[in-house]
Amino acid sequence: MPNDEKPTASVWTRPRPRQREHLTREQIVAEAIRLLDAEGVEELSMRKLGTRLGTAATSLYRHVANKDELIELVVDDVYGEPDVPIVVDGTQWRAAVTHAATELRAMTLRHPWIARELGQVGLVHIGPNAMRMTSALLAQFEAAGFPADERDQAMATLMAYVIGIATAEAAYLSLIARSGQSEQEWVAGLRPAFDEATREHPRLRAGSSAQRDVPPQRIRDDNFAYGLDRVLDGLAARLAPWPGPFRP
């Protein structure tokens, strides 16, 4: 490594400080997640977090070097929430991956702020929970029969779909939450304006009319399941015997 290059800093690549006081790293991370869930990333600061914990910001710096390290810790803590199957069975890989994807979507909707952080380039994904989750998913694709050079790509495809659609859902639900209404109330209030806007677009109007009496959460769940099934259909096609002499 050239002398002017420094290793990328990460909370996971340096020794953990010795515990010297009643405040623990786990308490800091738990309170930071509560703050993020309530107010978002923009409102997270070491000073505000210290106030919530009843201590000075300087006490926090004994456990984390800066806000970036804190983000690494909270992201990995949240990565520990999804129930990703660790038992592998090649005949059940699709059900296992579907379960993991559903859990990842639920995780993102519980913590809308995390979508932005998952898109950041860095070392947040070398935390222990992220590593366990990634390894468990790769094991499912391996058991399914994906060749070694496709397992990472198959998992990345799955993650891109789940995080992408969950990010859009989280933004939509955050908008509704700010209105003070339930999702059902918000959708009902929007209906007259949507009907007027689609007056000259019969295809849009027909689709909307067909779902008029369906609870909006069920529509979101059905849309997620439909898209996930199509992604898995495409991945499963890679495992089918190819009829010609060459596989694309």
Per-residue pLDDT of the chain (248 residues; tens, 9 = 90+): 455 555 556 766 666 666 555 789 999 999 999 999 999 889 999 999 999 999 988 889 889 988 988 999 999 999 999 999 988 888 999 999 999 999 999 999 999 888 778 765 444 578 899 999 999 999 999 999 999 999 999 999 999 999 999 989 998 988 898 889 999 998 888 888 888 888 888 887 777 766 777 899 999 999 999 999 999 999 999 997 655 554 55
Please, where are the H alpha helices in 55-182? Answer: 57-60, 67-79, 93-110, 114-118, 128-144, 148-179
Q: Are 124 and 117 in contact (CB under 8 A)?
A: yes
Burial class (CB in 10 A: 0-12, 13-18, 19+), 137: buried
Tell me how many helices (H) and strands (E) the chain has.
Answer: 11, 0
